[in-house]
Structure 1
Amino acid sequence: MARQLAFDLPVRPARGRAAFFVAPANDIAVAQIDGWRGWPEGKLALIGPEGSGKTHLAHVWAELSGAAVVYAADLPGADLPALAETGAVAVENAQCIGGNGPAEAALFHLHNLLRAGGGALLITARTPPRDWGLALPDLASRMQATASVHLNPPDDALLAAVLVKLFADRQIAVKPDLIGYLVGRIERSFGAAAETVAAIDREALATGRKPGIPLARTVLDKTGPEGR
C-alpha cells in the first residue's frame, strides 16, 4: 500500500476538569488542587513524569483560582509584579531553571511577591526541587520547604483513560478493544501512552488505514512494545 504524506498537525488537548480522569494514582494530587486554599504558606509543588497530567491539573487549578500560567524559563522576561497582582500563579516546568541565573532570580522574586501579598503559587516539575540543581541558596531552601504531591505511575484503569483522552485530543474515535489491547502491551507510563498514540496516528495518516488492533500491532512491532 502506498504511503501518504503525514503532516504534524497541532493537537489540542482538553484541559477542563471534566476531561481529567481521577484514579488512585492521582487522587491525592487532585484533592490538593481542590483544596488549594489550605496549602501550607499558599504554595504547592506538583511532581510527576512527562505526560502525567501536571499541565492539565495546573489549568484545572487556574480555572478554580483565576491563576496565571507561565513557564519557568519565561519568567525572566515576565512582568513579575503584574503576575503577582493576579493573586495566584502556576509556574510550569520548574526543573528546567537549575543553573539559569535570571530564571532562578525571577522565580525567587515572584515567590516573595506572592507570599508578601498572600497569593498562591503552584509549581509543576518532573523531579523534586532538590534535583533541580538550583544555584541560588535562598530559592533552593524555599523550594525544598514547599509542600509537594506526586503523580504516580498509572494503573490499568488510568492508563486506559489516558489513551482514550490522547486519541480524543487528536479527534480519533477508537473502540474499547483497541484500548484494552494497548493497555496490555505498552509500558505502564504516560510517556509511552503518548508516544504510542502519536505513532498510531502517524501510521494511520501515512497508510490510510483505520486505527484499530491490526494497525496498532504493526506500530508496536516497529517500536518494540514493552510486554507486560
Structure 2
Amino acid sequence: MGQLPLPFKLHRLASFETFVADSNETLVSHLEAVARGERGGVIWLCGARGRGKTHLLQASCRAADRAGTRAMYLPLDPGGALEPDCLLGLDSIGLLALDQVDTVAGRPPWETRLFSVLDGFQSSRRTLLLAASSAPAAAGFVLADLVSRAAAAAVYRLNPLSDDGQQQVLVAHAHFRGLDLDEATARYLLARVDREVGELCRWLERLDRASLIEQRRLTVPFIRKALAAEDS
C-alpha cells in the first residue's frame, strides 16, 4: 500500500472565518457542512488563480480536524518532490484535499493513482476535495475511467470577488493579524496594488512587518510611505 505522505502544513490564516464568501456562499456552506461531517462525497473546485481554492481546501481540513475527522491537504506537483505513489495508503483519511490536480493531467502514472483515489472515495462515505483551474471535462485527463469518475463530482466554479469583497478580505486578514485597518485605508491600498487575493495578503505581511518596526498604525500616510519605499 505504501506509506502516507507527510502532511503539508496549513497556512495559519486559512480558515472559514478569514474567507470572504461574497458570491460563493453556496460552495462555502457545502464545505462547512462537509467539515462538520454532515455531508460527504467528491467535490471539485475550479477557477482562476487567486479565487481562493487553496484557502478553502485548507480551511476545510482545519475545520474537519477540529471536528474530530482525520484530514489531509496535499498539493500535487509532478515537477516537485512528490511521486505518484504518494496517493497510495490514504484509506484512513476521512477528508482528503488534493490541490492543483490538473497539473498531473496527461501523466499516466499520476492519472492511474488519481483514478484509484477517486474510485475509493466515491465508494465510501469519506470526503474528497479536488481543486483545479478548470472543470473536470477541461482538465486534460486522458485516462477514460478518470474522466468519467471526475465528471461525477459536485463541481463549483469560484466567482471573482466584488470590490466590497476584496475590501472585506483585507480588513478580515488584517484583523486576524491583530492589525487595525479601517475601510478608508483598505480602499486606499486596494486602489494602488494588485487586487489578486494572494498579493493583497502579501502586502499585509509587508505592512505588518513595517508597522512593527516603526511602531505605527496602518494609516493612509503610513501606507503611502510604504508604497513609495517599495517603488524606490
TM over 0.5: yes
Residues 1:53 and 2:42 aligned together:
no
- Give the Cα–Cα distance (whole angstroms) in 2 for the partners of residues 104 and 43 of structure 1: 17
Contact 1:72 1:103 in 2 (8 A): no
Residues 1:189 and 1:153: Cα distance change in structure 2 (over 3 Å): farther
Q: Matches of residues 81-100 of structure 1 in structure 2 within 5 Å?
A: 81=89, 83-100=90-107
- Give the Cα–Cα distance (whole angstroms) in 2 for the partners of residues 137 and 29 of structure 1: 27
Instruction: Indicate the structure whose relative CO is greater, using CA pairs within 8 Å and at least 6 residues apart.
Output: 1
Contact 1:87 1:117 in 2 (8 A): no
Where in structure 2 are there 5+ consecutive unaligned residues?
A: 1-9
- Give the Cα–Cα distance (whole angstroms) in 2 for the partners of residues 180 and 48 of structure 1: 25
- Give the Cα–Cα distance (whole angstroms) in 2 for the partners of residues 223 and 108 of structure 1: 46
Contact 1:13 1:169 in 2 (8 A): no
Contact 2:193 2:200 in 1 (8 A): yes
- Give the Cα–Cα distance (whole angstroms) in 2 for the partners of residues 59 and 45 of structure 1: 14
Give the TM-score, by structure 1 length.
0.72
1:32 alignment partner, one of 7, 30, 33: 30
Q: CA deviation at 1:173?
A: 4.4
- Give the Cα–Cα distance (whole angstroms) in 1 for the partners of residues 104 and 139 of structure 2: 7
Residues 1:212 and 1:79: Cα distance change in structure 2 (over 3 Å): same
Q: Which residue in 1 is equivalent to 2:84?
A: 76
Letter in 2 for 1:28: T
Q: Which residue in 2 is equivalent to 1:3?
A: none
Q: Matches of residues 115-134 of structure 1 in structure 2 within 5 Å?
A: 115-134=122-141
- Give the Cα–Cα distance (whole angstroms) in 2 for the partners of residues 17 and 44 of structure 1: 17
The count of corresponding residues between Structure 1 and Structure 2 is 209
Q: CA deviation at 1:117?
A: 3.0
Higher percent of residues as helix = 1
Residues 1:110 and 2:117 aligned together:
yes
Q: Which residue in 1 is equivalent to 2:186?
A: 179
Q: CA deviation at 1:45?
A: 0.5
Where in structure 1 are there 5+ consecutive unaligned residues?
A: 1-10
Q: For 1:84, what is the secondary structure of its paired residue?
A: coil
Q: CA deviation at 1:126?
A: 2.4
Q: CA deviation at 1:148?
A: 0.8
Identity score, percent = 26
- Give the Cα–Cα distance (whole angstroms) in 2 for the partners of residues 30 and 15 of structure 1: 13
Q: For 2:134, what is the secondary structure of its paired residue?
A: coil
Letter in 2 for 1:68: M
